Amino acid sequence: MKVFYLVLALLLAAGSADAAQHGKQRGKAHPKAKPAPASAPVVDQRILATQVMLDRAGYSPGEIDGSAGTNTERALAAYTKNGGNAAALPQDAVAPYTITEQDAAGPFTSMIPPDMMEQAKLPALGYTSIIEALGERFHASPALLKRLNPTAMFVAGEAIQVPNVANGVTPVGPPAGRQNDASSPAITTVTVQKSSSDLTVTDNAGKVLMYAPVTTGSEHDPLPIGEWKVNGVQHDPKFQYNPALFWDAEPGHSKATIPPGPNNPVGIVWVDITRPHYGLHGTPEPSKIGKTESHGCVRLTNWDALKLASLVKPGTRVVFAE
C-alpha cells in the first residue's frame, strides 16, 4: 500500500510540476501572444496512461477520462497490492483509429426520454451518437475523445486518437472441463465490497481475474449482504420495469417493458443471481459508476459487465460484503 501511495504521489506531483511549468511559460509570454485555443484543452498524459495500463491489466478504472479520481486510485491500489508495477506506464496509451462507415451508420437513438413510460414506447435504446458509441468501444468518456480530437467531426473515414485498450488482457475463466454449474462447487468467486464500491473476481487459487468499480445500492435499497449464486447471464436484456419496486417511481407509472440497448436501465448485460429482483448489470451512464446510488443492484460499466459475464456460469458464488 505504501508503494501505491508513493507512485500516486509521484504521478500527481509530476502533473502539478507540468502545470506549474506551463504557468511559468505563460507568464513569460509576449503581451501580444495569443492564448491556446479553448477548443484544445490539455489531457493529463500520465493519468491517461495509468488508466490505460490498469484497463489492460484487468483492473478497470471505470470510464477512462484522463483525470485522477477515486475509481482510478482504488484500481491502482488493487493492482499494486497484487504485484502490478504501477511505474511501467505504456508508451502507446493513445492510438489512431479510423472511423468506419459502420460506426457512422448507427443506428442511433438521438433522444432518450428520462421517463420510463416514454422509454417503453421506443423500439430500442441505442447509443445517442457516434461519440457515445466510440466512447464505449474504447472505454472512454465522450468528453475525453473530444479533448483528444479537438478538431474532429467524428465522421466516416476520419482518423482520430483513442485510448489504446485494444490489446487489453483477455480475462481467464475457470479451467477447461471445470466450468461452474449448479451441481458443482463454485470455482470462480465474485466479491462485491460495499465499503470500497468495487468488484473482484478470483479463481479457486485466489488469483484476480478481474477488478472493477461498481455502484452498490443506496440508503433506500442497500446492498443485501450475504452469499448468493449466479442463475444465468442475459445479453441485450429487456428491462421489466415495476414501479412497485422503486421507492422513487413517478405516481401513475405502471409496469412496462423497456426495450434493449446500451442505454437500457441495465445496459447490455444482466447477470441474474439467486436473490430475487437483484443482479449485476451494465449501465447507460458509465461516468456515474462508483459515484452515485442505485436501486440495490450492482451496476458496472457496460464493458466491465461484459467481462464479468464471460467469467461466470450458473452456480458461480457471489459474495456481497460490507
Residue 183 pLDDT:
45
Show which of 147, 163, 179 is a domain's final residue: 163
Q: Give the pLDDT score at 290.
A: 84
209 and 275, same domain (yes or no)? yes
pLDDT tens per residue across span 130-189: 999 999 999 999 999 999 999 999 999 999 999 999 654 444 444 444 444 444 545 899
Give 265-295 as a DSSP string.
TTTTEEEEESSTT-EEE--S-GGGTTTS--S
pLDDT level of residue 1 (50, 70, 90 thresholds): very low
pLDDT at 32: 39
Q: Which domain holds residue 113?
A: 95-163
| pLDDT, tens digit (0-9, with 9 covering 90-100), for 182-218 | 445 458 999 999 999 999 999 988 999 999 999 996 6
| Residue 225 and residue 293 in one domain | yes
Question: Using one digit for the tens of pLDDT, what is the confidence trace for 75-94?
Answer: 999 999 999 999 999 999 99
Total domain count, the chain? 2
Least confident segment among 13-17, 52-56, 179-183: 13-17
User: For position 307, which CATH number holds?
Assistant: 2.40.440.10
Are 152 and 214 members of one domain?
no
Cα 93 to Cα 66, 143, 291, distances in angstroms: 11, 17, 25
Locate all alpha helices (DSSP H) within 82-189, ordered by sequence.
101-105, 116-119, 130-137, 142-148
Between 321 and 36, residue with greater pLDDT: 321
- The C-alpha atoms of residue 178 and residue 314 are separated, in whole angstroms, by 13
135 and 209 belong to one structural domain: no
The mean pLDDT of 251-257, rounded to a whole number, is 89
Residue 28 has pLDDT above 70, yes or no: no
CA–CA gap between residue 145 and residue 159 (Å, rounded)? 12
Q: Please state, in angstroms and as integers, the Cα–Cα distance from residue 202 to each residue in 171, 180, 208, 244, following that order.
A: 11, 13, 4, 35
* C-alpha separations of 217 from 60, 201, 202, 285, 298 in Å: 20, 19, 23, 15, 7
Model's pTM, two decimal places? Answer: 0.82
Which amino acid is present at 116? M
| Residue 293: band (very low, low, confident or very high) from pLDDT cuts 50, 70, 90 | low
In the listed set 119, 146, 163, which residue is the last one of a domain according to the structure? 163
Residues 158 and 267 grouped into a single domain: no
Same domain, 282 and 222: yes
Residues 126 and 220 in one domain: no
**Which neighbouring-strand residues pair with 229?**
317
Residue 30 resides in a domain: no
Q: What is the pLDDT, as a whole number, of residue 252?
A: 84
